Amino acid sequence: MSRIAVVNCNTTTSMTEMAAARARLAVGPCTTVVAVTPTWGVESAEGWYDSFISAAAVLHSLENLPPDIDGVVMAGFGEHGREGARQLLDIPVVDITEAAAHLAMLLGRRYGVVTTVSSAVGQIEDSLTTAGLMGHCAAIEDTGLGVLEIDADPTATAEAFVAAGERAIARGAEVICLGCAGMAGLEEYVSGRLPVPVIDGVAAAAALVETLIRQRLGTSKIDSYAAPLRKTRTWNPPAVGVDVAAGVE
């Protein structure tokens, strides 16, 4: 039996459970998926500021993972923290951004990403560039929907996704990736509306982590992802406006 942790990038538990449920459909019966929601952070990550807070909260959660976890899915599309997680852990860590792109590149020469709001586009570009995958990305299109709006009106979400997917295809995409963990499962509703394969990064990442575990492969711990130096880390910063030295406002 293997145990995979699906770690949400935000504090919205319903989104964590949605991602974990999608991951369970992608793995075999001998793999258990454990849902992990950060105990602090942001309720939805939409932009650089949210993303950096999210990364710290996720890394804090990863420091406290149960010892029986065999692999990690980072369920935040384009969010920060991937490299830090690999430095922290020696078990496989797969980010849904790169997982979706890797699978897309096996199905078409160029892929596109459909995401939530326009402020997420730059982060996704940087994440794919760092992973060496941006060269095959034809387009990143946003739906204009906030992360927390995705579930509010499933019909409107599907229509917005299809429209953005069509724009990406017009720019040369041959495969479309869901650009948000909150979109997990949406591919079942829109695949028939678009003439190309549609990939969910949560399912892709879960399947890849499971494969790495079965092959007994873990993160390399020399050079880039060598374990971080041991030092005191404070996860509870003082309130804004407090003079730390004097202990008064």
Q: Does the pTM exceed 0.75? A: yes
Residue 247 pLDDT grade (very low, low, confident, very high; cuts 50, 70, 90)? very low
**What phi and psi values does residue 116 have, to the nearest 5 degrees?**
-90, -95
27-41, 127-141, 161-175, 183-197, range with the lowest pLDDT:
183-197
Bridge pairing between strands 31-36 and 93-95: unpaired
- Top pLDDT among 78 and 234 is at 78
**What per-residue confidence (pLDDT) applies to 116?**
87
Q: Considering the chain, what percentage of its residues have pLDDT values greater than 90?
A: 72
Q: Give CA–CA dist 150/141, Å, rounded.
A: 15
Residue 237's pLDDT is what?
A: 61
Residue 68, pLDDT > 50, answer yes
Looking at every residue in the chain, the average pLDDT score rounds to 90
Whether residue 234 is predicted with pLDDT greater than 80 in this model: the reply is: no
Q: CATH number of the domain at 2-214, please?
A: 3.40.50.12500
pLDDT given for residue 155 in this prediction: 79
Query: pLDDT-based confidence at 238, cuts 50/70/90?
Result: low
CA distances from 248 to 235, 237, 238, 239 (A): 20, 15, 11, 11
CA dihedral 139, 145, 149, 155 (to 10 degrees): -80
Nearest to 2 by CA among 212, 170, 155: 212
Which residue blocks in 154-241 are alpha helix, DSSP H? 154-170, 187-190, 201-214
Dihedral angle computed from the Cα positions of residues 230, 85, 35 and 146, in that order, rounded to the nearest 10 degrees: 130
Residue 226, exposed/middle/buried by CB under 10 A (0-12, 13-18, 19+)? exposed
Backbone angles phi, psi at 196, to 5 degrees: -135, 160
Residue from 63, 61, 72, 81 nearest 23 by CA: 72
- Residue 76 in contact with residue 96, Cβ under 8 Å? yes
Residue 151 has pLDDT above 80, yes or no: no
d(CA 200, CA 95): 12
Q: Dump pLDDT digits (tens) for 175-216.
A: 999 988 878 778 877 878 899 999 999 999 999 999 999 999
- Tell me the average pLDDT across 150-157: 76
